[in-house]
């Protein structure tokens, strides 16, 4: 595993997020939430590493009112708030390299934060809550360092009305009920980016499962149980295919939450995925997105991006996983799907600089499909066996850390360095055309024969 990356401050794509001079190593969140009034009362305890001398420091926190701040149990000299920032002045300057604990008591009516990509963060449903923070909405429910490079472990304790089910990241450690209110405690031990931390609340039923050795849980409104079971019936096989293709599932379990509400798109979070009732209709129409969200547990969650400009490493891999699943399950091969999507991009204008698409276009479909095509170009150049070795090496070397596009280039170069007839310069040129040039390259030619019928099934 790569060393833990310490964030430098803000991310250019979300310049109002992030805080210089610190890195958060753990969040312990105690949330008391009243559904009828949308009222949150909370305490957040952050274990922080000072990466610079700190006479004062900031945290991301949006519109929630702070009642007190303590550092290592001691009241601070002062604190102030703006719309999206909490500024803290300690009693004495904190030296670089010092670890300290910040405790923040706060409350208010959480609501989404506006962004270039629409509202993000904590949002009320018709009868419950969804938290969808990508890329800049974690500050709507807890004080944090909201950049993708700063991963931490989490303990999340949620108290709310007892008839409701709560789902958060990680393992459920306990559920207790007192006076009509239930307290749920979750532990996420693996390093998690702030945008992937989540709380889901609803009137749900749940079914426990085991998916290719991985503990699973389906959470859904009781009225659509048959639809959910039908549309998630392939998850065990998807898990098997992806564990063979990408390496062992990287977390302790996997949950799928289906809201009663209609959602525009499914959402990934660390160790779980969220779908709207419209996505699991019982018809299997959204099968590719079930695969896509599962694949994010490897690409985007276990292996995160150091900056948002590298988002193709999340979405390109997850999109390519859709094609891997298709060919493994008897559908069109990855090559057939790659040709189809290349033709679509060519007709529509697929120009984009994949390695730095710009904040406005970071979720553009061209990033997803051209990212997947880039991976397919590598596969055609190096062959199935080496390609999937590269993919599994990408996950194992970078598990629970963050990466950049240059890291991927370096891994491809190292993996191919000893292969006769495969000069590093040729592969670097191939990647440069796909990643750094705006114009969509021609469909890549195969230099090594692929064998899609055996690749996924025979490599574990």
Predicted local distance difference test score (pLDDT) of residue 73 = 98
Per-residue pLDDT, averaged over 112-129, amounts to 96
The domain limits of the chain are 1-200, 204-297, 303-458
Q: Is 28 annotated as a binding residue?
A: no
Amino acid 8: pLDDT: 58
pLDDT score at 7: 58
b/e 153-172 (16+ beta carbons within 10 angstroms → b)? bbbbbbbbeeebbbbbbbee
**Band of the pLDDT at 449, cuts 50, 70, 90?**
low
CB 239 within 8 Å of CB 325: no
pLDDT for 410 beyond 50: yes
For residue 106, pLDDT over 50 is answered with yes
**Is the pLDDT assigned to residue 372 strictly greater than 60?**
yes
Q: Say yes or no to pLDDT of 235 above 50.
A: yes
152-275-336 Cα angle (round to 5): 100
| Host H or E run for residue 230 | helix 225-231
β 39-50/22-34 pair status: antiparallel
Distance CA 165, CA 168 (A): 10
pLDDT in tens, 183-225: 999 999 999 999 999 999 999 999 999 999 999 999 999 999 9
Q: If pLDDT is split at 50, 70 and 90, which confidence band does 420 have?
A: confident
User: Which candidate, 360, 261, 364, 371, places its Cα nearest to that of 321?
Assistant: 371
Banded model confidence at residue 460, pLDDT cuts 50, 70, 90 = very low
**Rounded mean pLDDT of 441-456?**
66
Could you give phi then psi for residue 428, rounded to 5 degrees? -65, -40
| pLDDT value for 264 | 92
Q: What is the mean pLDDT of the chain?
A: 94
Question: Which residues lie below 8 Å from residue 133, measured CB to CB, with a gap of 6+?
Answer: 120, 121, 140, 146, 194, 195, 196, 197, 198
pLDDT of amino acid 200: 98
Q: Has residue 456 got a pLDDT over 70?
A: no
Confidence bin at 351 (pLDDT 50/70/90): very high
Tens of pLDDT, residue by residue over 22-81, are: 999 999 999 999 999 999 999 999 999 999 999 999 999 999 999 999 999 999 999 999
- Core vs surface per residue 58-91: b (16+ CB within 10 A) or e: bbbbbebebeebbbeeeebeebeeeebbbebbbe
CATH architecture of 204-297: 2-Layer Sandwich (3.30)
What is the distance between the alpha carbons of residues 135 and 142, in angstroms, rounded to a whole number? Answer: 15
User: Quick one: how far is CA 147 from the chain centroid?
Assistant: 12
Which one of 2.60.40.1730, 1.20.1440.120, 3.40.50.1100, 1.10.10.10 gives the CATH number of domain 1-200?
2.60.40.1730
| Whether 435 contacts 355, CB under 8 Å | yes
Residue 315 marked ligand-binding: yes
Is 397 part of any known ligand binding site? no
- Note the maximum CA span of the chain: 71
Q: Span 369-390, mean pLDDT? A: 97
For residue range 302-348, list pLDDT tens digits in order: 999 999 999 999 999 999 999 999 999 999 999 999 999 999 999 99
Q: Stretch 276-286: mean pLDDT, rounded?
A: 88
| pLDDT (0 to 100) of residue 35 | 97
User: For position 421, what pLDDT does the model report?
Assistant: 77
Q: What confidence category does residue 2 fall into, taking pLDDT thresholds of 50, 70 and 90?
A: very low
| Res 388: pLDDT | 98
Count of CB atoms situated within 10 Å of the CB of 213 = 11
Task: Give the Cα separation of 16 and 163 in Å (integer).
Answer: 38
β 128-132/303-305 pair status:
unpaired
With tokens 């996950």, the residue in question is 395
DSSP 8-state assignment for residue 84:
S
| Tokens encoding 47 | 């274990």
CA angle centred on 298, ends 99 and 202, rounded to 5°: 80
Does this chain's domain 1-200 share its CATH topology with 303-458?
Answer: no
Strand, helix or coil for residue 273? strand
* CA distance linking residue 49 with residue 96, whole number of Å: 8
Report the C-alpha gap between 318 and 368 in whole angstroms.
Answer: 8
Mean pLDDT across the stretch 392-414? 97
Q: What percent of the chain has pLDDT over 90?
A: 90
Quote the CA–CA distance of 260 and 121 in Å, as a whole number: 18
Give domain 303-458's CATH superfamily. Neutral Protease Domain 2 (1.10.390.10)
Give me the phi and psi of 380, to 5 degrees please: -65, -30
């Amino acid at each position: 595993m790569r060393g833990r990356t310490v964030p430098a401050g803000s991310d250019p794509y979300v310049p109002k997020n992030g805080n210089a001079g610190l890195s958060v190593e753990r969040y312990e969140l105690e949330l008391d939430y009243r559904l009828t009034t949308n009222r949150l009362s909370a305490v957040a305890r952050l274990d922080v590493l000072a990466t610079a001398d700190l006479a004062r420091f900031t945290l991301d926190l949006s519109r929630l009112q702070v009642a007190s701040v303590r550092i290592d149990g001691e009241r601070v000299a002062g604190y102030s708030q703006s719309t999206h920032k909490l500024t803290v002045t300690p009693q004495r300057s904190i030296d670089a390299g010092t670890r300290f604990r910040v405790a923040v008591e706060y409350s208010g009516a959480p609501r989404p934060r506006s962004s270039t990509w629409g509202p993000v963060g904590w949002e009320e449903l018709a009868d419950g809550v969804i938290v969808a923070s990508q890329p800049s909405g974690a500050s709507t429910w807890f004080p944090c360092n909201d950049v993708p490079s700063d991963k931490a472990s989490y303990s999340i304790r949620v108290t709310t009305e007892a008839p409701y089910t709560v789902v958060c990241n990680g393992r459920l450690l306990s559920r207790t009920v007192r006076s009509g209110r239930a307290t749920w405690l979750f532990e996420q031990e693996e390093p998690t980016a702030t945008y992937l931390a989540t709380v889901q609340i609803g009137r749900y039923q749940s079914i426990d499962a085991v998916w290719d050795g991985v503990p699973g849980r389906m959470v859904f409104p009781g009225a659509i149980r048959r639809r959910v079971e039908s549309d998630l019936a392939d998850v065990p096989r998807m898990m098997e295919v992806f564990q063979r293709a990408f390496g062992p599932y990287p977390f302790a379990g996997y949950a799928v939450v289906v809201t009663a509400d209609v959602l525009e798109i499914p959402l990934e979070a660390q160790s779980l995925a969220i779908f709207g009732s419209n996505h699991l209709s019982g018809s299997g129409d959204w099968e590719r997105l079930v695969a896509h969200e599962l694949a994010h547990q490897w690409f985007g969650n276990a292996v995160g991006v150091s900056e948002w400009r590298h988002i193709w490493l999340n979405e390109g891999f997850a999109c390519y996983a859709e094609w891997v699943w298709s060919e493994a399950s008897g559908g069109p091969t990855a090559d057939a799907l790659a040709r189809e999507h290349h033709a679509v991009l060519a007709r529509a204008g697929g120009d984009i600089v994949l390695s730095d698409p710009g904040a406005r276009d970071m979720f553009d479909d061209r990033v997803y499909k051209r990212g997947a095509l880039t991976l397919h170009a590598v596969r055609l150049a190096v062959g199935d066996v080496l390609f999937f070795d590269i993919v599994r090496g990408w996950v194992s070397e970078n598990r629970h850390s963050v990466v950049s596009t240059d890291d991927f280039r370096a891994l491809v170069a190292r993996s191919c360095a000893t292969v006769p007839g495969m000069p590093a310069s040729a592969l670097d040129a191939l990647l440069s055309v796909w990643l750094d040039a705006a114009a969509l390259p021609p469909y890549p030619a195969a230099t090594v024969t692929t064998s899609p019928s055996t690749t996924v099934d025979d490599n574990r």
